[in-house]
Structure 1
Amino acid sequence: MRNKILWSYETKIELLGLNAKRHGWRKPGTILTVKHGSGSIRLWGCFLVSGTGRQVRIEGKMNREKYREILDENLIQSSQDNNPKHTAKTTQ
């Protein structure tokens, strides 16, 4: 049964943001600062028992339309293997 399951996920990766731990070395008496923010990216991806599927960078805000677009464009391709019935023109 688990061989037929596809897991999907979304994540936000921040560089020196609110969710990140900050580690660094500095001379005593100096102050560590970050100018102009640090930035982040949002990703959607999926994986199966057989391996990883596609990963997509999410541009802008995630809403139901964008989520549906990501699934439409990536979910089926990620779940197919190289079996001829999956790659046939009529199937695609």
Structure 2
Amino acid sequence: MIGKIDKTYWDIANIKQIKNESEAIKEFEAYFVRIFLKEARKSIPKGLFNTSFSANFYYDMLDMELAEVISQKDPLHLEKFLQEALSKYQKISKG
């Protein structure tokens, strides 16, 4: 079991809790994966139970949790890529 949902993607106040680059990168990665899953789900044909509000709500929560788990494991190696991109951007903006 994954546990309770303690943060939501629509909670803007949660952004203030981010303290460093690593946390920001993990949050971005989770958001990126969630959007990817949401868009990928649109390609699946709609079934009998797939059109209700509650089904869409459930799938959205499922995508949020899957994105969180996937981003913690970092199978896409986005963390390294984003850290390199941020460091290059910081060098350019300073120099």
Tell me whether the two structures share a fold, i.e. TM-score over 0.5. no
Q: TM-score, normalised by structure 1?
A: 0.26
Which structure's relative contact order is higher, taking Cα pairs within 8 Å and 6+ residues apart? 2
Q: Would you tell me which structure has more strand in proportion to its own residues?
A: 1
Report which of the two structures shows the higher radius of gyration computed on alpha carbons.
Answer: 1
Q: TM-score, normalised by structure 2?
A: 0.26
Q: Would you tell me which structure has more helix in proportion to its own residues?
A: 2
